Amino acid sequence: MTSADVRATPSASSRAPRLVMKFGGTSVGDLERIEQAARKVAQEVERGYQVAVIVSAMAGETNRLVGYVRDVNRLYDAREYDTVVAAGEQVTSGLMALTLQKLGVPARSWQGWQIPLRTSAAHGAARIEDIDTAALDQKFDEGLHAVIAGFQGIGPDNRIATLGRGGSDTSAVAIAAALKAERCDIYTDVDGVYTTDPRLVSEARKIHQIAFEEMLELASLGAKVLQTRSVELAMRYQVPLQVLSTFGEAVGSDMAGTLVCDESELTEDKVEGKAVSGVAFSRNEAKITLLEVADVPGVAARVFGPLAEQNINVDMIVQNISESGHTDMTFTVSTDDYERALSIIEAAKETIQFQSLRSDSDVAKLSIVGIGMRSHAGTAQKMFQVLANEGINIEVISTSEIKISVLVKRKYMELGVQALHKAFDLDAASA
Ligand code: ASP
Ligand code: MG
């Protein structure tokens, strides 16, 4: 397509379809990779799309920049952290625009503030609040494709704000929603979402289609392929997402990676009626037990209130049956919050009133996820039996409509994942 063709479609109704193509760090890891990615963009442009390319920093670059900040001051000012770490994406956006121009694709780079993509005030972990597409729309109508620095926006203080690690997925989905793109393709170093991590289970299979809700559970339960918030946004704005490989010449319009879409749009017959679509796991868990807590109204609030105030997310919770007016209460937090959670609870000992505290970070969480669970009775029972057969003790359980999670000793994680993957017919041979 030439820019003249694009100029010939001025009104919104006759506008060319739009596509968001997001390239992660490996996909823009060096100039050769950037050129390979740019050729994919050129192919989609050729098909008639107005393309918004969202780029991450070159692989390893954000870690390097974060390292500089920490080396200067471990208790750094979050605004200056953002100034430094957002720079990685600025570099790749310019390099990508230059490479596209070299290939004959008219393109211009955009930083978050230029769009503007407005965020909350939380530097280092800002949320996207508003994307004004007027300037982008105008440039698209002039025939210019957009290369947008992911991971960054502009905060209410008029300063650069970043969206948290992995945030360029979220940038891509939010921009796809704002631009009403037909699809958001996420190019990465794996060729899709798998039934579990193939490094743990060699029989893991690529999932061709998965519902937003399932992907959201998998992402938040430990699957690392997409940032959880990006899936949340895709679900809220109904943006079809495709995860696909950056290697080779194929592009998203031709190849099937994993399509994440609304349940009603799943075309695969929700596979032979399987209950479970995937098995997720996480080592990033720690367990805290309060022994002999008074079993009176308000105790849970006294335990979890101070944690919430310090932004510590509590995940699984169990409370034993009370005997003689006392109970034991167990909950889990992420290992990142573990030390802080312990000291907060210790500090609140007087108000909470418990006898003693036990804690253990040598644990892992195993989860099975699937919308098929809604129509399959006995899924939980089957999971517990499979683990029992392997001699794996379950320490804590939590469930939702489409997932069951259990906490086990860390040393049983691999065994548990493999056994569940097989028992729920996810192994490649049984597909
Ligand atoms: N470059 C940022 C990071 O490494 C954002 C991203 O790539 O998603 O976290
Ligand atoms: Mg990423």
Q: Residue 56 Cα, ligand 1 centroid: separation in angstroms?
A: 6
Q: What pLDDT does residue 182 have? A: 96
Nearest ligand, CA 226: 2
Can you tell me the distance from the alpha carbon of 395 to that of 287, in angstroms, rounded to the nearest whole number? 9
Mean pLDDT for 295-322 is 90
Residue percentage of the chain with pLDDT more than 70:
95
Can you tell me the distance from the alpha carbon of 311 to that of 119, in angstroms, rounded to the nearest whole number? 19
Per-residue pLDDT of 222-245, as tens digits, reads: 888 899 999 999 999 999 999 999
C-alpha atoms less than 13 angstroms from C-alpha of 369 in its C-beta half-sphere: 25
Q: Residue 204 Cα, ligand 1 centroid: separation in angstroms?
A: 26
Q: Tell me which H or E stretch contains 186.
A: strand 183-188
Q: What pLDDT does residue 14 have? A: 67
Among 27, 81, 168, which is best to mutate for testing ligand 1, by the most ligand atoms less than 8 A from CB?
168
CATH architecture entry for 278-430: 2-Layer Sandwich (3.30)
Q: What pLDDT does residue 269 have? A: 59
Sheet with 18-23: list strands edge to edge: 107-110, 145-149, 50-55, 18-23, 183-188, 241-245, 258-261, 209-211
Q: Considering only CA atoms, which of 202, 241, 237, 239 is closest in space to residue 218? A: 241
Per-residue pLDDT of 384-394, as tens digits, reads: 999 999 999 99
DSSP string for residues in 107-149? EEEE-GGGTTEEE-S-TTS--EEEE--HHHHHHHHTT-EEEEE
Residue 271 has pLDDT above 80, yes or no: no
In the CATH scheme, what is the homologous superfamily, with its name and number, of domain 3-266? Answer: Acetylglutamate kinase-like (3.40.1160.10)
Residue 272 has pLDDT above 80, yes or no: no
Residue percentage of the chain with pLDDT more than 90:
85
Mean pLDDT for 314-321 is 90
Confidence of residue 274 (pLDDT cuts 50, 70, 90): confident
Question: Please, is 300 exposed, middle or buried when counting C-beta atoms within 10 Å of its C-beta (0-12, 13-18, 19+)?
Answer: middle
Can you tell me the distance from the alpha carbon of 427 to that of 431, in angstroms, rounded to the nearest whole number? 7
Q: Residue 89 Cα, ligand 1 centroid: separation in angstroms?
A: 8
Q: Residue 190 Cα, ligand 2 centroid: separation in angstroms?
A: 11
Higher pLDDT, 74 or 204: 204
Spell out the domain ranges in the chain.
3-266, 278-430
Give the nearest ligand 1 atom to 171 CA: 8
Give the nearest ligand 1 atom to 56 CA: 7
Per-residue pLDDT of 170-191, as tens digits, reads: 999 999 999 999 999 999 999 9
pTM of the model: 0.88
Q: Residue 167 Cα, ligand 2 centroid: separation in angstroms?
A: 7
Q: What pLDDT does residue 248 have? A: 86
Q: Tell me which H or E stretch contains 72.
A: helix 61-72
Q: What pLDDT does residue 192 have? A: 94
Among 53, 54, 62, which is best to mutate for testing ligand 1, by the most ligand atoms less than 8 A from CB?
62
Q: Residue 210 Cα, ligand 1 centroid: separation in angstroms?
A: 24
Q: What pLDDT does residue 321 have? A: 81
Q: In 27-104, where do the E strands start and end? A: 50-55
* C-alpha pair distances (Å), 244 with each of 183, 229, 250: 13, 19, 10
Confidence of residue 249 (pLDDT cuts 50, 70, 90): confident
Mean pLDDT for 403-418 is 98
Q: What pLDDT does residue 429 have? A: 64
Residues found in the chain: 431
Give the nearest ligand 1 atom to 167 CA: 8
Give the nearest ligand 1 atom to 163 CA: 5
Residue 366 has pLDDT above 70, yes or no: yes
| Contact in structure between 243 and 225 (CB atoms under 8 Å) | yes
Q: Which residues line ligand 1 (CB under 6 A)?
A: 24-25, 56-57, 62, 88, 150-151, 165-169
Q: What pLDDT does residue 221 have? A: 93
Rounded to 10°, the helix 61-72/87-102 angle is 150
Q: Residue 327 Cα, ligand 2 centroid: separation in angstroms?
A: 42
Can you tell me the distance from the alpha carbon of 300 to that of 280, in angstroms, rounded to the nearest whole number? 28
Q: Residue 230 Cα, ligand 2 centroid: separation in angstroms?
A: 10
Give the nearest ligand 1 atom to 88 CA: 1
Among 22, 90, 96, 151, which is best to mutate for testing ligand 1, by the most ligand atoms less than 8 A from CB?
151
Nearest ligand, CA 59: 1
Per-residue pLDDT of 40-96, as tens digits, reads: 999 999 999 999 999 999 999 999 999 999 999 988 899 999 999 999 999 999 999
